[in-house]
């Protein structure tokens, strides 16, 4: 690993509008200085008098110097692939990265700040300015506030820290590269191989046994989240100590990831997965005929004495389902228990007058019974077809009695699906996502058949 110790002089403190007047780069191989580079730069703007007073660099001195574009390639080659080091590194790095970007070069170097390193290596100093810390350590600065003078002094300071506390350099690099959060038995190389895509992931111990299963829209970010932050510190430390590797299955969509996660947790029962629990109270959608002969719908808690058309895990979920049915089948919100006042008062276009009996019960009930019919059909077998993991691929799921029974990622119609054990958790996931599916994604199948005639399923 090599380090590029950088110092620049500028026309001001804001890299958004100031220019660079001088740059120096000292290359350090971890043991000693191996190369040096410096040049004046024409900033193509006036150098303020107070800057000249500080650095000695004036307009005349840089008049014949190259502009940054003319030396950008040389500077980039010196910095690329090396750790960028400076005293107050964000200042120097911000300027250099901006001007390299404008010249067509993207600087992605890791950074180290000798101010921060000095605070840790030499605690208790009143000031950590370059001049003060070098004075304390008896490091000579041959030309203060000139690029090469300050860069060489920074290089000597860095070298002293490296020789005295190499672990401080390495730990700082790990933090800055995002490696510090990683479990001790999990390498940065492994982490960088994790896809930033949607899917299910499996944490494995040293024997290759799965100890945790999870799902994520971005698997890499989610893996990092397990070991950062302040929540559940004891659990995080236990998991961090045991995980040695990670495998994953991409799913393309969050819905498929949730289904696969539920199945895999039930199949494997990893030690660090909390038991999946369903809500104890069920809510139902009920139907009855009122005294005027109109079919009504009502959401309520499920009891042994009442048979629900469909069950849900919350009242809100049941009402949302009912609202979609009202829109699809042009039903009356008042007769469905969603609204207390007649629909004409709020100008609800879905209602054709059933709530004030301008539409007959016979006509209204035809649409209401279509809604009931489709609900009953959905209790049989449903085939869902969703986007796959890549172009040309589709995710297919077969649900029976609301629970997932088969699934797969297919490209041809005759591609086989995987048979899975039915779990109630998959019914809950289906209910959560059901209204996000379009009519052409859903096929209602005849019992025990995956190839029956497709029926309309419009809610």
Cβ atoms of residues 283 and 299 within 8 Å:
yes
In DSSP notation, 328-345 reads HHT--TTTTTS-SS-GGG
Cβ atoms of residues 273 and 437 within 8 Å:
no
pLDDT in tens, 62-99: 999 999 999 999 999 999 989 999 998 989 999 999 99
pLDDT in tens, 273-311: 865 554 556 788 999 999 999 999 999 998 878 888 888
112 - beta bridge partners?
A: 85
pLDDT in tens, 350-399: 899 999 899 999 999 999 999 998 787 666 788 999 999 999 999 999 99
**Which run of H or of E encompasses 134?**
helix 130-137
pLDDT at 378: 63
CA distances from 71 to 16, 174, 214, 251 (A): 20, 31, 50, 47
Q: Which CATH superfamily is domain 188-268 in?
A: GIY-YIG endonuclease (3.40.1440.10)
Q: Which of helix, strand or coil describes residue 183?
A: coil
**pTM score of the predicted model:** 0.51
Can you tell me the distance from the alpha carbon of 46 to that of 407, in angstroms, rounded to the nearest whole number?
69
| Cβ neighbours for 284, distance < 8 A, ≥ 6 positions apart | 299, 300, 301, 302, 306, 308, 309, 310, 311, 312, 318
Q: Which two tokens stand for residue 89?
A: 């590194």
CB atoms within 10 A of CB 170: 13
CA distances from 456 to 351, 381, 438, 445 (A): 22, 13, 11, 11
Fold designation for 3-177: Nucleotidyltransferase; domain 5 (3.30.420)
Domain(s) labelled CATH 3.30.420.10 in the chain stretch across 3-177
Can you tell me the distance from the alpha carbon of 220 to that of 339, in angstroms, rounded to the nearest whole number?
46
pLDDT at 35: 92
Q: Which of helix, strand or coil describes residue 432?
A: helix
Q: Which two tokens stand for residue 325?
A: 């049915």
HSE of 83, CA atoms in CB hemisphere, 13 A: 21
Going 429 to 433 to 439 to 441, the CA torsion angle's sign is negative
| Cβ neighbours for 262, distance < 8 A, ≥ 6 positions apart | 276, 423, 425, 426, 429
CA distances from 362 to 214, 293, 375 (A): 51, 8, 20
Cβ atoms of residues 203 and 239 within 8 Å:
yes
pLDDT at 231: 60
Can you tell me the distance from the alpha carbon of 433 to that of 444, in angstroms, rounded to the nearest whole number?
17
pLDDT at 224: 86
248 - beta bridge partners?
A: 201
Q: Which of helix, strand or coil describes residue 443?
A: strand
Q: What is the strand order of the sheet 442-445 is part of? A: 418-419, 403-410, 394-400, 381-387, 442-445
| Residues of the chain predicted below pLDDT 70 | 175-181, 229-233, 274-281, 377-379, 446-459
- With b meaning 16 or more CB within 10 Å and e meaning fewer, what string describes 121-144? bbeeeeebebeebbeebebebeee
Can you tell me the distance from the alpha carbon of 314 to that of 211, in angstroms, rounded to the nearest whole number?
31
Domain(s) labelled CATH 3.40.1440.10 in the chain stretch across 188-268
Can you tell me the distance from the alpha carbon of 92 to that of 25, in angstroms, rounded to the nearest whole number?
11
Going 347 to 351 to 352 to 354, the CA torsion angle's sign is negative
């Amino acid at each position: 690993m090599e380090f590029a110790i950088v110092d620049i002089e500028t026309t001001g403190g804001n890299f958004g509008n100031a220019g660079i007047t001088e740059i120096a780069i000292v290359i350090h191989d971890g043991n000693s200085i191996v190369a040096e580079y410096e040049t004046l730069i024409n900033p193509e703007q006036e150098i303020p008098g107070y800057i000249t007073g500080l650095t000695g660099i004036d307009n005349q001195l840089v008049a014949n110097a190259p502009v940054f574009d003319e030396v950008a390639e040389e500077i980039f080659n010196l910095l690329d692939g090396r750790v960028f080091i400076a005293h107050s590194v964000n200042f120097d790095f911000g300027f250099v990265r901006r001007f390299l970007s404008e010249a067509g070069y993207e600087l992605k170097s890791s950074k180290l700040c000798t101010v921060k390193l000095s605070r840790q290596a030499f605690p208790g100093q009143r000031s950590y300015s370059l001049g003060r810390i070098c004075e304390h350590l008896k490091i000579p600065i041959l030309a203060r506030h000139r690029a090469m003078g300050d860069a060489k002094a920074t290089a000597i300071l860095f070298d002293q820290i490296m020789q005295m506390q190499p672990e401080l350099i390495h730990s700082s690099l790990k933090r800055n590269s995002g490696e510090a959060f990683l479990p001790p038995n999990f390498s940065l190389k492994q982490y960088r191989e994790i896809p930033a895509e949607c899917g299910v992931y499996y944490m494995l111990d040293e024997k290759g046994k799965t100890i945790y299963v999870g799902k994520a829209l971005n698997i890499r970010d989610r893996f990092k989240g397990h070991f950062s932050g302040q929540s559940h510190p004891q659990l995080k430390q236990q998991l961090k100590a045991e995980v040695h590797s990670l495998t994953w299955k991409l799913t393309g969509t969050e819905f498929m990831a949730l289904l696969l996660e539920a199945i895999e947790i039930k199949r494997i029962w990893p030690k660090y997965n909390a038991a999946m629990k369903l809500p104890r109270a069920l809510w139902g959608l009920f139907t009855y005929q009122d005294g005027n002969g109109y079919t009504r719908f009502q959401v309520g808690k499920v009891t042994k004495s009442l048979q629900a058309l469909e069950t849900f895990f919350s009242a809100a979920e049941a009402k949302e389902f009912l609202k979609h049915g009202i829109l699809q089948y042009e039903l009356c919100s008042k007769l469905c228990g969603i609204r207390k006042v007649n629909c004409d008062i709020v100008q609800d276009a879905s209602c054709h007058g059933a709530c004030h009996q301008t539409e007959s019960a016979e006509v209204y009930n035809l649409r209401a019974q279509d809604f009931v019919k489709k609900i009953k059909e959905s209790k049989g077998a449903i085939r869902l077809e969703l986007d796959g993991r890549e172009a040309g691929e589709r995710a297919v799921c077969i649900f029976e009695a609301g629970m997932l029974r088969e699934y797969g990622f297919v490209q041809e119609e005759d591609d086989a699906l995987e048979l899975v054990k039915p779990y109630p958790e998959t019914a809950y996931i289906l209910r959560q996502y059901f209204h996000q599916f379009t009519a052409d994604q859903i096929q209602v199948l005849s019992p025990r058949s995956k190839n029956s005639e497709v029926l309309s399923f419009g809610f």
